[in-house]
């Protein structure tokens, strides 16, 4: 039986490589959630987000969006998205109040990434008033 030339196997090798890269990409993006789906939005930019727990009083929200919308409006929108994600997660944790600080935003042209740090405000506990003395 005569062996087939190598170029016959090339399309099969390329297909296998493409499937492997696609699987690796899906695995690395597994923790990202769709803002549009989770919050009932219908935006062309399709931002995604993830939540990183730090400790009982802190977590971080990462929001990223591709480049259909450009300019300062995109950053304003991502801050609103981070605020909404932060509020939903804080309420889910049972927090009464919290602060959202924007740690950094990186504009890579094709992708804008915003990192927000969320800190729980611990409620002020008032000292119980002393019992009234009865004469």
Residue 133 pLDDT grade (very low, low, confident, very high; cuts 50, 70, 90): low
pLDDT of residue 90: 96
- What is the C-alpha to C-alpha distance for residues 112 and 63, in angstroms, rounded to an integer? 8
Residue 107: which CATH number?
3.30.110
Measured between alpha carbons, how far apart are the two ends of the chain, in Å?
Answer: 114
- The answer to the question of residue 132 being in a domain is no
- The answer to the question of residue 92 being in a domain is yes
Strand partners, 64: 48, 113
pTM for this model (two decimals): 0.65
- The answer to the question of residue 53 being in a domain is yes
Strand partners, 48: 34, 64
- What is the per-residue pLDDT across 87-108, written as a single tens digit (0 to 9) for each? 999 999 999 999 999 998 888 7
- The answer to the question of residue 80 being in a domain is yes
- Full residue range of the structural domain in which residue 90 is found: 31-120
Among 3-12, 44-53, 66-75, 98-107, which range has the highest average pLDDT? 98-107
Across 8-37, average pLDDT = 64
Alpha-helix residue ranges (DSSP H) falling in 29-125: 35-38, 72-92
Count the domains in the chain.
1
């Amino acid at each position: 039986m005569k062996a087939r030339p190598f170029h016959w196997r090339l399309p099969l090798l390329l297909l296998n490589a493409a499937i492997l890269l696609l699987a690796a990409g899906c695995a690395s993006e597994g923790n990202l959630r769709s803002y549009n789906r989770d919050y009932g939005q219908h935006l062309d930019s399709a931002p995604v987000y993830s939540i990183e727990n730090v400790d009982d009083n802190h977590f971080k929200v990462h929001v990223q969006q591709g480049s259909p919308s450009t300019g300062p409006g995109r950053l304003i929108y991502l801050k609103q998205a981070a605020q909404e994600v932060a509020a939903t997660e804080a309420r889910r944790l049972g927090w009464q109040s919290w602060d959202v600080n924007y740690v950094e935003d990186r504009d890579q042209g094709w992708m804008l990434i915003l990192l927000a740090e969320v800190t729980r405000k611990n409620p002020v506990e008032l000292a119980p008033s002393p019992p009234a003395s009865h004469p």
